[in-house]
Amino acid sequence: MAVFLAKRAGQALVAIFGVMTLVFFIQRLTGDPTYLLVPETATQADIEAMRQSLGLDRPLLVQYLSFLADIVRFDLGRSFIQNIPVTEIIASRLPYTLQLAGGALFVAFMIGLPIGLILALARKYKSSNILMGVVLAAQSLPTFWSGILMIMVFGVWLGWLPPSGSGSFAHLIMPSIALGLLSMATYARIARSSILDELSKDYVRSARARGVPQGRLVRRHLLRNSIIPVISITALEISQLLAGAVIVETVFAWPGLGLLTVQSVVARDFVVVQGVVLLGAFVTIAVNFIADILYSVVDPRIRLDGAGQ
């Protein structure tokens, strides 16, 4: 266990280090990152002053090391537009994105799991094809289109829900559905194949032979054994949701990290963009790390020495 943990933690650290290097490299794709950091109206003298104050005139290696050192100290720099530390800006927006991601996961799980169950149990009936069609459609639905359609129907025509913004629980409903539909399709497919796997096993047949009623069979036997892949996919879904939030938050003017990223790109506030990207990557790495460990805790059959992989 300790060896597995150490090895896995080492991999995560390498990935974090790699992401920081990647971002540092991307900053310099066009040569001099100073131009990314100054307002468009800056004069040549301003640019020169900025370059010196940020230390961008130092050797590349020195810049790289100080970039790493800053991040390790949780210093993501200062926004030049708003003139406050990036960590503060991110902290003020993070709760909104967490609410949205939570809502979307709830939608995805509560709709996807039952659909997957029905698809697996009713696969012999032709009508289950329609449900499969719904899943495939949800998978191909551009979130910015489904979001706008919902705003149009429920926000403008029917007037049931606030079309955009934040402030109440009602504001959260449409963005959560728009963001959750994609993950819903993933959950439905994973749940379907996982339950189908279990259905063909001996213990299901013997339970049926003992006369266990269908409802009890599903609750007590099938769901419990087939839930593990569904839980482990959540780790992947969380990073999907973070990415999807960029679009959904823009559609619904939801003031989370996604909208912040887009606003910062438009306002040329590069330090903030970089901060959100680093955060997104760290969260993805951390969630995958935790999922790997949880996975082996939940299912003792998975071997921890790495030989089973």
Partner 1 sequence: MTTLINRIRPIFLSSGSGVPTGFFIGIVALMVIVAVFAPWIAPYDPNAQNLLGRLKAPGTEARNVLYVLGSDELGRDLLSRLIYGARISLSVAFLSVILSGCVGILLGMLAGYRRGWVETVIMRLVDIFLSVPAILLAIITVAVLGPGFINVILVLALTRWPRYARVAYGQTLSVAGQPYVRLARAMGASWGRILLLHILPNIIAPLSVVATLEFGLMVLFEAGLSFLGLGVQPPTASWGAMLSVGRNYVSNAWWIATFPGLCLFMLVLSVNLIGDRLSEYLNPKSR
CB nearer to partner 1: give 64 or 212.
Answer: 64
- In the complex, least distance from residue 216 CB atom to partner 1, rounded to whole angstroms: 30
CB nearer to partner 1: give 151 or 230.
Answer: 151
CB nearer to partner 1: give 2 or 266.
Answer: 266
User: In this structure, which amino acid lies at residue 219?
Assistant: R
The residues that touch partner 1, with contacts defined as CB under 8 A, are: 11, 14-15, 18-19, 21-23, 26-27, 29-30, 33, 36, 126, 129-130, 132-133, 136-137, 139-142, 144-145, 148-149, 151-152, 155-156, 163, 239-240, 242-244, 246-247, 250-251, 261-262, 265-266, 270, 273-274, 276-277, 280-281, 284-285, 288
Place of tokens 């940020």: 54
- In the complex, least distance from residue 135 CB atom to partner 1, rounded to whole angstroms: 9
- In the complex, least distance from residue 173 CB atom to partner 1, rounded to whole angstroms: 17
String of DSSP letters for 77-114: -B-TTT-SBHHHHHHHHHHHHHHHHHHHHHHHHHHHHH
The CA distance from 268 to 243, in Å, is 20
- In the complex, least distance from residue 212 CB atom to partner 1, rounded to whole angstroms: 29
Place of tokens 């290696």: 61
The CA distance from 92 to 97, in Å, is 10
User: In this structure, which amino acid lies at residue 172?
Assistant: L
Q: Shortest CA distance to 168 belongs to which of 106, 260, 241, 96?
A: 96
Q: For the chain, give the number of residues.
A: 309
- In the complex, least distance from residue 34 CB atom to partner 1, rounded to whole angstroms: 12
CB nearer to partner 1: give 85 or 163.
Answer: 163
